[in-house]
Every structure is written in C-alpha cells, then in structure tokens.
Amino acid sequence: MSFFLNLLAAAVFAPVAAEAPERLYACGDDQVREYRITGAGAGVEAIEAWRWTAAGAQDLPLAYRTKLLGHIDDCKPVDGGRAILVTASTGGVVLIERSTGKVTFRATAPMAHSADLLPGGLIAVALSIHKNGDRLELYDRGGSESPLLHLPLPSGHGAVWDAGRQRLFVLSHDLIQAYRVTGTRRAPVLVEAARWTLPGRRDGHDLSLRPNGRYLVTTDDGVWTFDPAGDFVPLPALNPKLRVKAVSMTGGGAPGKGDGRLAWVQAEESWWATGFTIARGDGSDPLRVPVDGLHLYKVRWLP
C-alpha cells in the first residue's frame, strides 16, 4: 500500500515543467529584436532576449551599416529559427545567423519589403515603389549581390514560400499571385499558377501564412483571412482597422489545437508604431507591449 501512496504523492507534488516561451521578432530602424512570450490572458509577459543592429554588424560593408539597412521593414525567422531574413526599404537584404549574428547573405535591393527562402538555396525578394523597384527578384543564397531574375510586381510587399502547396505567394498593390518554381538553382524560372484580386480598398501591405494553411493579408482598410481554394474573409479582430503594418499568428502548440496567439502592429505615427499587440487567436485578451527607442514596423512569430 505504501508503494502506491508514494506514487500518488509523487504525482501530486512533482514540479510542473514551465511552458516554453514563444519567440517573436520585432523590427524597425536598423534593429531586429527578439522577445520571449510566456503566459496567457492577463498574465502574458514579453521579455526582450536578443538584439541585432546593422550599425554594429562589423561583417557588413559600411553602406549597409549606415544607409542600406536604415529602415528595416521585415524580419522573418527562417531555417527553423536558426536564421533571420531581413529586408529594408532603404535598399538592403541580409540573412543573419541567429546564434552568432553573422551575416551569411546580403544584397542591394531598392525598397525591399519582404523576402523568403525557397527550396534549392534560393531567396525571393519583393521590391516596392522605386525607379528600380516594383519587382520580384530571385537570388542564390550563396551568391550575394547577384539577382538571377526579376519579374514585375507593382508595389511589391509580400513574399511567402508555401511548402505545403509548393508555391511562392507574392503580394502587390492589387493582387496575390502564386508561382511555381522550376529551372535550376543557377537559372530558376517562375511560372504564374494563379492570381487573386485583393478585397476592400486593396493596397496590399502584409502577407503571412497561418498555421492552418490559410493566409493573413492586410490591405488599406483591414485584415483578411485568405484561402487559396476559396476567398477573402474579414478577420473579425482586425477588420475594419486602418494601417495595420504587420500581422502574424502562431500555432496552438500541438496538432489539432488550432491557432495560438495573434500579434500585430498598427501605425500610430505616420508609418510606424511605438509598440505591438499580442492577443489570443480570436483577438481576445489583447495586451499592448511598448517598444522603446524604435520606430516599430513589423512583428513575426517563430513558426
């Protein structure tokens, strides 16, 4: 009997393992910051755990440290969180090794607004309004500064590789387009497979993939869930809401648990904000997290 009582006591009094924090990346100016998010509802905590600045990146040429990465506009965790893919409207793209801060790829790309890694060592970059912009570019991640091809993309604002569908989804002023990637690593080819016209007042601004395989897309007047097999549906928590610069959603932490947390940035001063908001997946229990000393533009969860 004492054996079973001891087992029961061990089960009752055994310490409960702390929930692993989720990682959220926030960026603006020449900085990328990593926050560790724990708790739920009113008990959510956001603690800065890591920071990278272009000015301090001694492995970058001077132009990147002083100009080309002056207004970072996206900071996408890739390679399972081992790297951060950064774009800047001031004309730079870099791939940063998370553990060391080392830059492993760089490119000059006017008004770069979004990027993603593709299979076979390729990088896709969406460039916005500029005399040398308004296009989609592909690079070899082993070949800095040398674009392999480009296609027209008016006011390019989003580039997302969809591994499940094996398509590159890109966002422009009026459209979402899906491309098949063919050819070789040295001579890739993009073939348009589908396109969809944005809802509302259009002016596409942000595109991110949800854990359930659908997308979140922001336009001039709101945030929408987009299903490539269906249509655009307003996201109740954020539609209508003007000038949402970024929206990102985590998974539920386990198969079948659905969406986890939602995070977004809504412009407060012209194009930037002084903080971001975290909420449950349905938008309930929102918590605003102030960000000091930064013109905040985007937030991205680690998938």
Residues 69, 52: Cα–Cα separation, whole Å: 12
The first and second tokens of residue 129, run together, are 């309004």
Residues 192, 40: Cα–Cα separation, whole Å: 42
- The predicted structure's pLDDT at residue 6: 46
Domains and CATH numbers, the chain: 21-301 (2.130.10.10)
Q: How does pLDDT run across 36-74, given as a tens digit for each residue? A: 999 877 788 999 999 999 999 999 999 999 999 999 999
- The predicted structure's pLDDT at residue 200: 87
The first and second tokens of residue 148, run together, are 């392999």
Q: How does pLDDT run across 91-113, given as a tens digit for each residue? A: 999 999 999 999 999 999 999 99
- The predicted structure's pLDDT at residue 201: 85
- The predicted structure's pLDDT at residue 252: 55
Residues 270, 272: Cα–Cα separation, whole Å: 6
| 21 and 37 Cβ atoms separated by less than 8 Å | yes
61: DSSP letter:
-
For residue 247, count other CB atoms closer than 10 A to its CB: 28
Percent of the chain with pLDDT over 70: 91
Q: Within 13 Å of residue 266, how many CA atoms lie on the same side as its CB?
A: 14
- Average pLDDT, 10 consecutive residues per value, the chain (303 residues): 40 46 96 93 88 97 98 97 98 98 97 97 97 95 94 97 98 97 94 96 94 94 93 93 93 54 93 95 92 97 92
Residues 108, 149: Cα–Cα separation, whole Å: 14
